[in-house]
Amino acid sequence: MSSQGAARRSYSDVLGLAAWASVAVALYLVFFVAREADISMGGQLQRIFYFHVPAAWISYLSFAIVFLASIAYLRTASRRWDLLAHSAAEIGVVFCTLVLITGPIWARPVWGTWWQWDARLTSTLVLWLTYVGYLFIRNLSTDGARAGRLAAVIGITGFVDVPIVHFSVQWWRTLHPSGPTVSNPAADSGLGGAELAAFFASLAAFTLLFAWLLSLRTRLGRLADRVDSLAVATESRNPAEPQRVPARNPVGEAT
C-alpha cells in the first residue's frame, strides 16, 4: 500500500516537474520568440491564441476521458474509474471556463463584439453547461455511491450530445448569413515556424499540466476516501461516544 502510494507520488512529482518546465519553455516561446501577429488578428493580443486553443483541447480531452471512464465505471463499478471521471470533469470545466473567458477577451477588439453565436462558440458553451450540470449531480446527490452512477449517466449522455449540438448550431448559423462569419484564427493568420513552435510547446505544456493536475486530483480523491473509511472505522469502534464537533453559530456570535 505505502510503496504503491510512494511510487504514485514520485510519478506525480516527475509529472509536476515536467509540467512546470514545459510551461516555462512555452511562456518564453509565446512571449519572446513568436512574432507579433497582424493587426487584423489582434496584434499582441493574438498571443492569447496560444492559451485559448490548448485550453480548448484540454477541455475536450477531459470530457472524452469523463465519457470513457463513465462507461468503464458502469461496467466494473470500480471506484478508480469513478474518481477518474470526477477528476477529469472538474479539470475540464476549469479549462472550458478559461476558453470561454479568453475567447471574448480576444474577440472584443478583433471582431468588435464579446460574443458571436458561431457554431464553435455555441457548442463550447453548451458543453460547459452540460458538465457544470454533471458536477451539480455529484454535489447534490443524496448518497455517495449513487452519485457516481448518476454522474456516469450524465457523463455518457452529455458526450453523446456533442456531435448533435455541433451539427445543429453549425447549420443554425450557416443558414443565417446575417452578421460577420467567424474564421478559424489559425487558418489564415500566417503562422510561421516560430509561431507554430510556440503553439506546439504551449499545447505540450497544457497537456503535461493537465496530466499532473489529474494525478493530483485523483490522489486527493483517494486520500479523501481513506479519511472517510478511517472515520467510519473509529465511529464503529466507540459507537457510544459519537465525536461531537462544536457547532459554530454565526448568528449566535452577534448576540
Partner 1 sequence: MRPSGFLAKTSALAIKDLRVELRGRDTLPPMLAFAFTVALVLAFAVPELPATARPTKLTVALAYVEAGFLWITVLFAGLIGFARTFEVEREEGAIDALLLAPVDRSGLFIAKAAANLVFVACVEAVVIPSLALFFAIDLGAGWLPLLGVIVLVDLGFVAAGTLFAAVAAQTRSRELVLPLLALPTLVPVFIAAIELTADLFLGAAFDDMAGRGWFAILLAFDVIYGVVAALTFELALD
Summarize as ranges the residues that interact with partner 1 (CB under 8 A).
74, 122, 126, 129-130, 132-133, 136-137, 140-142, 146, 149-150, 152-154, 156-158, 160-161, 164-165, 167-169, 171-172, 175
114 or 117, CB closer to partner 1?
A: 117
Q: Nearest distance from residue 163's CB to partner 1, in Å?
A: 9
69 or 205, CB closer to partner 1?
A: 69
Distance CA 92, CA 124 (A): 12
What are the grid coordinates assigned to 51, written together? 492559451
Distance CA 237, CA 160 (A): 46
Q: Nearest distance from residue 149's CB to partner 1, in Å?
A: 6
149 or 219, CB closer to partner 1?
A: 149
What SS3 state is found at 174?
A: helix
Distance CA 141, CA 154 (A): 13
Q: Nearest distance from residue 83's CB to partner 1, in Å?
A: 18
131 or 210, CB closer to partner 1?
A: 131
Task: List the one residue out of 226, 229, 221 whose CA is nearest residue 81.
Answer: 221
Whole-angstrom CA distances from 121 to 10, 23, 42, 157, 238 are 39, 26, 18, 20, 56
135 or 197, CB closer to partner 1?
A: 135
144 or 192, CB closer to partner 1?
A: 144
Q: Nearest distance from residue 94's CB to partner 1, in Å?
A: 18
DSSP single-letter state for residue 198: H
Task: List the one residue out of 214, 217, 165 whose CA is nearest residue 61.
Answer: 214
Q: Nearest distance from residue 117's CB to partner 1, in Å?
A: 11
Q: Nearest distance from residue 74's CB to partner 1, in Å?
A: 6
Distance CA 222, CA 216 (A): 10
